[in-house]
């Protein structure tokens, strides 16, 4: 069945408004089953953009979780097989101020825009241009996490944006390997960040998207505004992956990213910290988490070594310098 209203019903009383505040939820289970398809059509229009929605039946079971982080709108769509079509008649009334960046979290999608066709598999990322028609078919139940990004933040012209659409960024290497899990996780945890943290994460994500766009266009990411921010995010991810390694030094980190130790220190200094201090704080936080959870099954020395400290003495000095008490005294007070 194809839900096809005569025109985008912006003034229709049945139109589903976006949930107020952060962490809103729209679900078809809020209405009688016979009204679910029309309700879903209105929900898609209210939270994303106007589109025709086609399914093989008269009903649909779906939900859209919405949030905002910094300047970015996030919509996590989970529903049944079907097809959506961003037709020209919707574009005449729609919002052209955003680019959609979507990560396929579950299921597959067959995307068509600007004369290109591609299939999105779990983990793939794709750009959608909302000012031109597109069609997407979902042959199975799916979860799609969509970020509405103000188009000016990508710093791309109209011709360049047209070259980005309907291309799958596979999370196998390069920037896409960092971007995909970052988007996926950010959509799931967006409500847990305060305003300041959310703004910083949104900036980091925008930098990653700009780098991904540059890569797709065959440009050098080092020439992009904000390239330092992208590099720093990659470095921090590398540190998290190797946090348990006591040999994780500035020299090792700089070498892994093809930069000098001096440049590495400059990147962290611009954030008001140092690479050594940032690593130590991260390790202490992980150790505190284990201690607070009642890590009696493991000795303090084992916990310390698990997170990159050379032993209990090294850990004890670092812990006391921050908290003023020993790890064991701190754990007993929790």
pLDDT at residue 161 greater than cutoff 70: yes
User: pLDDT tens, 75-96?
Assistant: 999 999 999 999 888 886 555 6
What pLDDT does residue 203 have?
75
Residues 6 or more apart whose CB falls under 8 angstroms from that of 157 comprise none
pLDDT digits (tens, 9 = 90+) for 215-232: 788 776 555 555 676 678
Cα–Cα nearest to 180, from 141, 200, 208: 208
Tokens 């847990």, residue?
Answer: 192
The domains located in the chain, with CATH, are 2-156+168-219 (2.60.120.10), 250-332 (1.10.10.60)
pLDDT range class, residue 6, cuts 50, 70, 90: very low
Number of C-beta neighbours around residue 117 at 10 A: 10
Q: Residue 103 above 70 pLDDT?
A: yes
Count of C-beta atoms within a 10 Å radius of residue 273: 11
Yes or no: say if 83 and 118 are a contact pair by the CB < 8 Å rule: no
Higher pLDDT, 92 or 74: 74
pLDDT of 221: 53
Backbone angles phi, psi at 85, to 5 degrees: -135, 115
pLDDT at 144 over 90: yes
108 exposed, middle or buried (CB, 10 Å; 0-12, 13-18, 19+)? middle
pLDDT tens readout for residues 10-62:
333 344 544 444 568 999 999 999 999 999 999 998 899 889 999 988 899 99
Q: Which residue has the higher pLDDT, 314 or 146?
A: 146
Name the pTM for this structure: 0.64
């Amino acid at each position: 069945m194809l839900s096809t209203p005569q025109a985008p019903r912006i003034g229709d009383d049945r139109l589903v408004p976006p949930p107020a505040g952060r962490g809103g939820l729209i679900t078809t289970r809020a209405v009688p089953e016979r009204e679910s398809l029309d309700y879903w059509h209105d929900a898609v229009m209210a939270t994303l953009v106007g589109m025709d929605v086609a399914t093989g039946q008269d009903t649909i079971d779906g939900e859209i979780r919405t949030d905002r982080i910094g300047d970015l709108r996030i919509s996590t769509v989970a529903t049944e097989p079907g097809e959506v079509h961003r037709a020209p008649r919707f574009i005449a009334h729609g919002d052209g101020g955003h680019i959609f960046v979507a990560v396929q979290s579950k299921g597959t999608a067959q995307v068509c825009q600007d004369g290109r066709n591609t299939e999105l598999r779990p983990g793939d990322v794709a750009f959608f241009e909302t000012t031109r028609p597109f069609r997407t078919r979902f042959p199975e139940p799916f979860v799609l996490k969509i970020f509405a990004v103000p188009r000016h933040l990508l710093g791309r012209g109209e011709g360049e944006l047209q070259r980005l659409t309907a291309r799958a960024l596979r999370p196998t290497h390069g920037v896409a390997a960092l971007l995909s899990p970052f988007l996926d996780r950010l959509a799931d945890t967006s409500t847990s960040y305060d305003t300041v943290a959310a703004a910083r994460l949104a900036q980091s994500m925008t930098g990653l998207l700009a780098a991904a766009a540059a890569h797709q266009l065959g440009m050098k990411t080092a020439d992009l505004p904000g390239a330092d921010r992208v590099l720093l995010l990659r470095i921090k991810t590398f540190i998290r992956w190797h946090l348990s390694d006591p040999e994780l030094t500035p020299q090792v980190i700089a070498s892994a990213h093809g930069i000098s130790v001096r440049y590495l220190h400059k990147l962290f200094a611009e954030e008001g910290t140092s690479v050594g201090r940032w690593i130590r704080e991260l390790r202490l936080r992980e150790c505190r988490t284990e201690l607070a959870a009642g890590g009696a099954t493991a000795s303090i020395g084992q916990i310390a070594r698990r997170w990159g400290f050379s032993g209990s003495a090294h850990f004890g000095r670092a812990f006391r310098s921050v908290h003023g008490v020993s790890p064991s005294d701190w754990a007993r007070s929790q």
